Amino acid sequence: MEIAVAASTIGKRRFFIDITHWDSVDRFHKPFLVNPGHPAGLSVAVFDLSRYINEVAQIYKEASEALASARREFVKSASRAWPLRFLLPARIEPPALGPEWEIKTHVENVIGKKFGGWGEVLVGRVAVEVRDRAVYIGGVPSIGHTYLRMLGALSI
C-alpha cells in the first residue's frame, strides 16, 4: 500500500504529514497523522502545508486550553476541600483528559509549540508496511499511525 506524504521542517524538527488519510479520520485524530522524520523517496515540490498545519495548531490550542482549564478547576476544588480534610474525608479526582493530553504531548514532540516558518516541502508517495504491530511509512516508524491503528481509527 502507498500513501501520499508531505514533509518539511520547523526549526530543527523534521516531520511528515499523511495526506491520503487526512480527510478520512476524525478531527481529533488528525494530529497523529503528523509524525517525526522524513520518509525516503520524497522530492521537492510546490505544496501548501498551511491547511494541515493550521488545523493541527487549532486542535493543539483547544487541547492545551482544556488541560489548563481542568488544572485550574482541580486546584480550586482541592483548595476548597483542604480546610475540611479531617472532618469530611473526600476524594478529589482530576478530570479524565487523556485524549487532550495525548494530543498536546504528541504535537509538542513532533512539531513543537511554534507552527509557523516551515522550510522547503518534500512530497511523494511512500510505502506503508506493518512490522511487529508497528506501522512504518517509507521505512520510518510512525508512532502516530501505530497509535491510530491500535485505536481502530485507521485501517492499514
Domain parsing of the chain, residue ranges: 2-151
Write out pLDDT tens, residues 69-110.
988 888 887 777 767 666 666 666 666 778 899 999 999 999
DSSP-assigned states of every residue in 75-124: HHHHHHHGGGTTTS---------HHHHHHHHHHHHHT-S----B---EEE
71: its cell numbers: 488544572
Q: Do 141 and 135 meet the contact criterion of CB atoms below 8 Å apart?
A: yes
pTM, entire model: 0.85
